Chains A and B, each alone.
Chain A
Amino acid sequence: AQSVTQPDIHITVSEGASLELRCNYSYGATPYLFWYVQSPGQGLQLLLKYFSGDTLVQGIKGFEAEFKRSQSSFNLRKPSVHWSDAAEYFCAVGYTGGGNKLTFGTGTQLKVEL
């Protein structure tokens, strides 16, 4: 069965600093990968997705992620963090078949210091 690991439960960065959130997945075939963001009291908003093609994908709000098959990773990055980016970030993996359900990581809580 597929699984997703987000090794960092909490991350604190200063506003304007760069950000990288780690995500590792376990799945036999090529997965399709997502990053979602959840602000307090809100639902999940899709930041970006990957299935095939260019391994560097661009998303909304200035985020990007890079798929590295050799490392089974799909890390999320942002060159300059804004205070409004403070939220919880979830990496998710899906696969064709099985109804396209998503398996989520445990999330990384991002705190931005002003």
Chain B
Amino acid sequence: DSGVTQTPKHLITATGQRVTLRCSPRSGDLSVYWYQQSLDQGLQFLIQYYNGEERAKGNILERFSAQQFPDLHSELNLSSLELGDSALYFCASSVEWAAGQYEQYFGPGTRLTVT
């Protein structure tokens, strides 16, 4: 158990719908990262938040957005869902293991199925 929690574990929804994925980082970790794992794209970085502010952005679609709240939990919002958005979505939080270097601990993921 990494200490990172994600809810829900599974989500099945229809095209065009909107969903919210939730992540709670490990106690004390200020950074939260979101990744998408799909068969065709592999594991891709979506976005990072640090203490409530967006820190880095990856291949995140405009239909997707995220935020980090004052209690440091984060939510990833996916809207106008398409079949291709079906994937496993991971959240990670990080701890500094050397000056400026961080290791990321991953949650169990949310499996999203769009039908």
Interchain pairs with CB closer than 8 A, number:
59
Binds B, one of A44-52, A61-69, A75-83: A44-52
Complex: A96 Cα to B55 Cα, angstroms:
13
Cβ of A90 under 8 Å from chain B: yes
Q: Which residues of B contact A (CB under 8 A)?
A: 2, 4, 31, 33, 35, 42-45, 48, 50, 55-56, 58, 90, 92, 94, 97-98, 100-109
Complex: A105 Cα to B41 Cα, angstroms:
11
B45 touches A107 (CB 8 A): no
A51 touches B98 (CB 8 A): yes
Kindly provide the distance from the CB of B55 to the nearest chain A CB, expressed in whole angstroms. 4
Candidates B42, B58, B98; contact of A107 at CB < 8 Å: B42
Assuming A32-B101, A45-B2, is B48 touching A100 (CB within 8 A)? Answer: yes
In the complex, the chain B residue whose C-beta lies closest to that of A92 is B43
Kindly provide the distance from the CB of A37 to the nearest chain B CB, expressed in whole angstroms. 11
Q: Is the interface of B mostly helix, strand, loop or mixed?
A: strand
A31-63 interface code vs B (CB 8 A; 1 in, 0 out): 010101000001111100101100000000000
A49 touches B107 (CB 8 A): no
Candidates B4, B101, B106, B109; contact of A51 at CB < 8 Å: B101
Which residues in chain A, 85-114, are within 8 Å of chain B measured between CB atoms? 90, 94, 96, 98-107
- Which 8 A-B residue pairings sit nearest by Cβ, starting from the closest? A99-B56, A104-B43, A44-B106, A99-B55, A101-B45, A99-B48, A43-B108, A43-B106
